[in-house]
Every structure is written in structure tokens, then in C-alpha cells.
Amino acid sequence: MALLDIDHLRVSFRTEGGTVQAVDDVSFSLEPGEILGIVGESGSGKSVTAMTIMGLTRSPNASFAGRITLTGPDGATTDLLAASNHQLESIRGARVAMIFQDPMTALNPVHRVGDQIAEQIRAHEPVGKRAATARAVDLLRRVGIPRPDERARSFPHEFSGGMRQRVMIAMTLSCSPQVLIADEPTTALDVTIQAQILAEIEDLRAETGVGVLLITHDLGVIAEVADRVAVMYAGRVVEQGDLRTMFTDPLHPYTWGLLGSVPRIDKDRPGRLPTIPGAPPSLQNTPKGCHFAPRCPHRFERCGEVPPLEAADATAPGHLDRCWLALDTKRKVRIVNGTIGLPAASPAGADTAGVR
Amino acid sequence: MTATETGGEAPAPAATAPLLEIDHLQVLFPVRAGMLGRTRAHVHAVDDVTINLTEGETLGLVGESGCGKTTLARTVLRLTKPTGGHLRFRGNDITALGQRDLRPFRAEVQMVFQDPQASLNPRKRVGQIISAGLALRGMPEKDRPARVRELLAQVGLSPEHVNRFPHEFSGGQRQRVGVARALAAEPRLIVLDEPVSALDVSIQAQVVNLLDDLQDRLGLSYIFVAHDLSVVRHVSDRIAVMYLGKIVEVSPAEALYSRPIHPYTEALLDSVPIPDAERARRARKPVQGDPPSATAPPPGCRFAGRCPHATDVCRRVEPPLVAYPGGHLAACHHPRNVSAEDLAAAVISPSSPASSGDSLPGSEAAL
């Protein structure tokens, strides 16, 4: 049994403009000690998925379907979607912890960071204030904050962005969680600091065996630390597989487009950047069938139906994608100017042959 | 688009006079404290920076937050008044001009901001927003609507969008409106401050390509400020790396990536995650620590505290900006990736800050 299993999750919100289907049939699982990267652009549903795991999207206007199963160290399972608010309170922070993009808004500006970490410890464990504070100092030391006993008495604004993110990590560590959800943890940081924080997350995984759900829009970050990757587009997982496969043998046209449109410092620069034409669809009015079809140069009639998320190559059962194109066709058409990318337009009718 | 020798090397002939000369520019912000608001210290946002920009060139400006890249960009537009040094545009000194005298210059130099949502007036229609630039150029009112439509088409938007409000556009489209607004004044130079960092990857590429096309078509010059080293490499002819208010390295774009001379540049490049499962997972050796405070910058080299190669001299003497062959400048006592021939040909650049030392790396005095 996986540590965390998301099974056919659907999340929609009622808004004035109509129903927004933010997460549309998403399934994946996370093993202990694994870093699963979730990549997608804004509006792909990656953050809503993460927040739903934490029970942070519950509202009178939200509706949910599916199951989110968390397996405890003793083998007992809990459905986080069906859990009561009271149950969730004891799980949040203790068994599932979260790091946000902007640590300044996630920390309370009027409390000293040591007190904030101690409060978190005392919310979940019956320990005294003094003991909790001592543990907070230890945690700050562990995440690499210099002079931790002094710094525990500082306020969040007295830290730099990178140090603040370390404080957040220290806080999530306080109750030894099984699952760590990191939502764009390095997006607001400078590259040299980003490298430090990513190294910190890797060390943590190695030391504690925590399962990490790393949400990012940056394929570089994914390549550095993830073990497996799920690519999301307009509320759906469109492709999923282990890291190497996703970068060397991507099977969904959207993944090709993503890989192709990132400028790289390790390659010759192309005259023009390859792009994905158009923009992601509105989630109030998603296209029928494949959500990527309107932007896909390889679309054909069949794309009006929703493709299933399944393995295209029987020899790689862990590599799933949501696309109707035949495997051979995909491997042929994804090469643009010698690298993987999405061609601007397809030669008419050339790739509709060979449906899977 | 031509990569040229860095400014200040030699008096350039009039035909290739730089479009913009940034000459030992300094911007200090006072830090006030106490009841009387006395100035207690200064933030050295831009500290003795010299660099030129040639017509048609794209100069990339990179560095981490707080390095002064945005202040430098804003000062070039005279949105911030320099506290020292000179700014010359087409040879005219604009350092101390008043608002009225700056008018003609304002049309020549435009800016595109990071967040198109925040930089477009939400209550004005796109047509009105873009017309403002046409008015600045003195275009009669009756001619403006047609020109607005042309501009919209030029940035890849439909001319029918003229009556829409900014919120009716997606992020990428809004940034195109921002570009159209800048183009309306028919500028020669556009300062782009993180123009694509708020956009999704697939949209980033579209906007970068648009900027490329416009440059080719209109012969524009760009100052491209960004923290994303991959995007900067893609668009720039020449790149300046800033650290704590100083330029630490200037180089033609390719050479900066293949042969970084300053250890800070090397560290920056080493920190960029590469989207390639085969290449990543190298032994990462991230630079430790944070940049020091810009109110009390350390003496000597400002990177010395975090630099793995720092020695005693780095903490005492500020390294001069040294010109190596190929238009590559770097301010470091212990340059990386330079050959003995490079060192022999190296000279101290006139762009070097006044406060820096006067010995070349490798010479007796520098050791």
C-alpha cells in the first residue's frame, strides 16, 4: 500500500461565472522516501490537488469526488477526503506537512519564529513550553540556521527569504511528518539559495524517509530532485513516469512542448524558442475530450473523446499518458530540430495515421 | 544585433557612438532613523557602475535580488535620480535634467514591467492605455485609433481587442499590451524588467520570441533585467552580472556561460537547475550563505565572504574591473577560466570603480 494514494480525485468550485472543474479525475500515489514532482502551468490544478490533500479547499462552494488515502506507520488507512475537520486537524502538520511558496505570508509576522515552531509542537504533542522551545532551537540548527538559539528569538521579517524558507522547513519537521507537500518551495528564491533549499529537502528525505510531493512549474527543479514526475494540464494528469523516462521518452505532446520551450544554458541557443501555440483553456469551459487538443498540432477526430491515462508501451507499465496517438507515431513526430519539442504546425494528415 | 566591445575601452568614433553611456553611476538611498529622521546610513544600491549600450544591442543584466539591477534599470530611465556619476543618451548628459527637459528623452526610452497586471491601469481600455504613448509623441488625436490597431497587430493581439480592459486578457496577452504601450512612443531603447518571469513557461517563450521579432524589425535596443540565467542567455548579446551594487563581470553572452571568470558567475551558473535527467544530479555544491547587507558593504571584494577562492587580498582590496581579450571584463583577484595569455593581455578597464585597487590579478602586488 502506498503512503499516499490519490484515486480519481475530482474537485470543482461553484463560482459566479459557472462551475470551475479545477481537478478532473487525478490519480497518483506516493511511496515513503520518494520525491514525486508535479509539474504544470498556472491553472493546471496542481496546487488545488495539494491543498485538497491538506483539506484546505473545503468550502460550501467546493465539491469533491474520489479518495485520498493516507496509510499510517501501523498500516491503518484514513480517507482524507472523508475525514472530519477534527480528524484533519490532528493529521495536518503532524502526519502531512506543507511548505508554501512564500514563507513571509505563511509565517505569523508578530510572533518570534522559535515560539511559532514550539506552538506547532505543542499543538500535536503533550510537551511543556520549555521543552518545545528547546526542540525548536534544535530544529533550526538542523536546517542550517546559524546561531539557532539567538535566531529563535527573531521575528520572520528579520530573516532573508532563504532563511525564512528554512524556518518553514524546520516547522514542518517538528512533528516528523510522513508526507511533505512542497508547493513551489523555491520559486520566490534566488538561484543560489534555491540550490541550498533543494539540497536541504533531499537531505531531509534521505534522513527521515518522508515522502515528498514537490509542486513546481520549473522542469529544472524537477530534474534535480524528483524520482518520479506527473505532468498536469487543465486539471488532469496528462503524463506520469519515472524521471529519466519523462525526459528521454516523453509521450504526451504537452510534455514535448514544455520540454521544448524552456531555454537551456547547457545547449546551443536556438534562433527562436519553440513555443506551444495558444493558451491553456478556461477551467469553466474546458474543451470536450482531450484538454490539450485545441493547442495540439497532432490532433485528429478521436481527440474529441477523453483519452484514458494508461501505459502506451507494455514494456514500461509505470509510464502512463493521456493521448490517442499511436506509440510509434509519437516517437516519430516529437523530434523538432534534433531535440524533443512540439512542432508549430503539423503537415496535414501526416500523423493521424496509427491510432493507439 | 552585434556584440561589441565593452564601453569605456577606447574613445569610440562618432559613427558607432553608444546609444547609452552609464558612467561611474552611483545610486545611494538614505536610511533614516530616529525622531528627526536623520540619515544614519546609505544603501549602496548601485555603486560606481560603468557600462555602455550600442544601438541595436541587447544588454542582459543579471544578479540576485538586492544586487541593484532593478535600481540601475530605473535610473537609466531617470525614474530614480543618481547620486553620482553620469548618464548620457545619444551623447547628451541627462543626469541632472529636470522633468520638463526630460520629456523628449522619455519618448526615446520606454519600460516594460514584470507584472502586467499591476502596471496597466485596470480602469482604462487597452486603446486608451496605448494612446497615451502616441500623445507623448504628439500624434494628432484623429490618427491615434488607426495606429493603436497597428500596434496591437504588431504585438500579436487582435485589433478588435482595442476596447477591452486589462482584466479581460490572459497574463501573456497583458504583457503584449505592455509591450504595445512601450512601442507607441517609438522608443529607441526599451528597458525590460523581468518581462517574462511572471508568465508560464509556454507563454514565456511566446513573449521572448515577440521581443526578438520586434528588435529585428524596428532596430530596438534592449536592457533586459532578469534573474533567470537561461532566458537572459537566449535574448542577450552581452551580459552584465551584478553583485551588491557592483558589476562583477561583463561578457559577450556565449563566453559568460562557456567561460565564466568571476567565481560568483560560476556559482550562479552552477546553481541553475538543468531540465535534463541525464545531466542533473551532479554533485551540487551550492554557494553558502546570503549576500551581505548593502548598507554596510564589506571592504574589498563584496563576494569574498561567500567565495570559495577568497584570500586575504580579497578582503582588503576591491578588485578592479579587468578587461580580458574578447571584450570580457571581470572584477576578481583570482580569475577563473583564464589562460596565461589572457592574463598577459589583461588591462585594467577604465570602467573600473574609482575605489578599486590598481593591480592586475597574478601580479606581485595582488598576492
CB A87 within 8 A of CB A104: no
CB pairs under 8 A between A and B: 129
Nearest-by-Cβ selection for B205 from A199, A223, A273: A273
- ipTM confidence: 0.80
Please name the helix (run of DSSP H) or strand (run of DSSP E) that holds residue A143, with its range, or none.
none
Q: Would you say residue A275 has pLDDT above 50?
A: yes
Beta bridge partners of B26: B47, B84
CB B270 within 8 A of CB B285: yes
Backbone φ and ψ for B150, nearest 5 degrees, come out as -60, -45
Residues in A lying within 8 Å of B, measured between beta carbons: 41-42, 160-163, 190-196, 198-199, 217-224, 243-244, 246-248, 257-259, 261-266, 269, 272-276, 279-280
What confidence score (pLDDT) does residue B284 get?
A: 61
CB B238 within 8 A of CB B251: yes
Q: Would you say residue A348 has pLDDT above 70?
A: no
Question: What residues of A are in contact with residue B234 (Cβ under 8 Å)?
Answer: 263, 269, 273
Closest CA to B193 of B309, B40, B76, B54: B76
What confidence score (pLDDT) does residue B1 get?
A: 42
Question: What residues of B are in contact with residue A220 (Cβ under 8 Å)?
Answer: 272-275, 280
Residues 6 or more apart whose CB falls under 8 angstroms from that of A113 comprise A107, A136, A140, A151, A152, A154, A155, A156, A159, A167
Beta bridge partners of B224: B60, B192
User: What is the rounded CA–CA span in Å between residue B214 and residue A121?
Assistant: 56
CA nearest to A295 within chain B: B202
Mean pLDDT, to the nearest integer, of A17-42?
94
Cell of A240: 506520469
Indicate the SS3 state at residue A1: coil
Most A CBs within 10 Å: which of B169, B200, B239, as the mutation test of the A interface? B200
Cell of A260: 521544448
CB A15 within 8 A of CB A58: no
Question: What residues of B are in contact with residue A190 (Cβ under 8 Å)?
Answer: 64-65, 227
Nearest chain A Cα distance for residue B37, angstroms:
22
What confidence score (pLDDT) does residue B287 get?
A: 79
Most A CBs within 10 Å: which of B1, B215, B276, as the mutation test of the A interface? B276
Select the more confidently predicted residue: A319 or B160. Answer: A319
Mean pLDDT, to the nearest integer, of A238-247?
94
Within 10 Å of residue A266's Cβ, how many Cβ atoms? 12
CA nearest to B228 within chain A: A191
pLDDT mean values, one per 10 residues, chain B (367 residues): 43 64 94 80 92 95 89 92 94 91 90 87 94 88 94 92 91 92 94 89 89 94 92 94 95 94 92 77 68 86 93 94 95 94 93 89 59
Cell of A115: 515560539
A52-56, A190-194, B354-358: which is most confident: A52-56
What confidence score (pLDDT) does residue B14 get?
A: 46
Asked if B272's CB is within 8 angstroms of A275's CB, the reply is no
Asked if B276's CB is within 8 angstroms of A198's CB, the reply is no
Asked if B203's CB is within 8 angstroms of A263's CB, the reply is no
Question: What residues of A are in contact with residue B173 (Cβ under 8 Å)?
Answer: 279
Select the more confidently predicted residue: A283 or B12. Answer: A283
pLDDT-derived band at A340 (thresholds 50, 70, 90) equals confident
Q: Alpha-carbon dihedral of residues B330, B336, B338, B340, nearest 10 degrees?
A: 110
User: What is the rounded CA–CA span in Å between residue B319 and residue A16?
Assistant: 61
Q: Which residue has the cell 526599451?
A: B190
Question: What residues of A are in contact with residue B227 (Cβ under 8 Å)?
Answer: 190-191
What confidence score (pLDDT) does residue A42 get?
A: 84
Most B CBs within 10 Å: which of A219, A265, A292, A295, as the mutation test of the B interface? A265
pTM summary value: 0.85
CB B172 within 8 A of CB B203: yes
Nearest chain A Cα distance for residue B211, angstroms:
11
Question: What residues of A are in contact with residue B243 (Cβ under 8 Å)?
Answer: none
Closest CA to B96 of B84, B111, B107: B84
pLDDT-derived band at A262 (thresholds 50, 70, 90) equals confident
What confidence score (pLDDT) does residue A345 get?
A: 60
User: What is the rounded CA–CA span in Å between residue A132 and residue A134?
Assistant: 5
What confidence score (pLDDT) does residue B281 get?
A: 58
CB A70 within 8 A of CB A29: no
Asked if B280's CB is within 8 angstroms of A223's CB, the reply is yes
CA nearest to A258 within chain B: B202
CB crowding B147-179: b at 16 or more within 10 Å, else e: bbbebbebbbbeeebbebebeebbbbbbbbbbb
What single-letter amino acid sits at B183? L
pLDDT-derived band at A282 (thresholds 50, 70, 90) equals confident
User: What is the rounded CA–CA span in Å between residue B10 and residue B180?
Assistant: 37
Question: What residues of B are in contact with residue A258 (Cβ under 8 Å)?
Answer: 201-202
SS3 sequence of chain B = CCCCCCCCCCCCCHHHCCCEEEEEEEEEEEEEECCCCEEEEEEEEEEEEEEEECCCCEEEEECCCCCCHHHHHHHHCCCCCCCEEEEEECCEECCCCCHHHHHHHHHHEEEECCCHHHHCCCCCCHHHHHHHHHHHCCCCHHHHHHHHHHHHHHCCCCHHHHHCCHHHCCHHHHHHHHHHHHHHCCCCEEEEECCCCCCCHHHHHHHHHHHHHHHHHHCCEEEEEECCHHHHHHHCCEEEEEECCEEEEEEEHHHHHHCCCCHHHHHHHHHCCCCCCCCCCCCCCCCCCCCCCCCCCCCCCCCHHHCCCCCHHHHHCCCCCEEECCCEEECCCCCCCCCHHHHHHCEECCCCCCCCCCCCCCCHHHC
* Helical ranges in chain A per DSSP H: 46-53, 85-91, 103-106, 113-124, 129-142, 148-151, 161-173, 191-208, 219-225, 243-248, 253-261, 327-333
Indicate the SS3 state at residue A36: strand
CB A246 within 8 A of CB A226: no
Q: What is the DSSP letter of A72?
A: -
Mean pLDDT, to the nearest integer, of A221-231?
94
Closest CA to A220 of A194, A188, A257: A194
Nearest-by-Cβ selection for B208 from A247, A273, A279: A273
Q: Would you say residue A196 has pLDDT above 60?
A: yes
Asked if A196's CB is within 8 angstroms of B278's CB, the reply is no
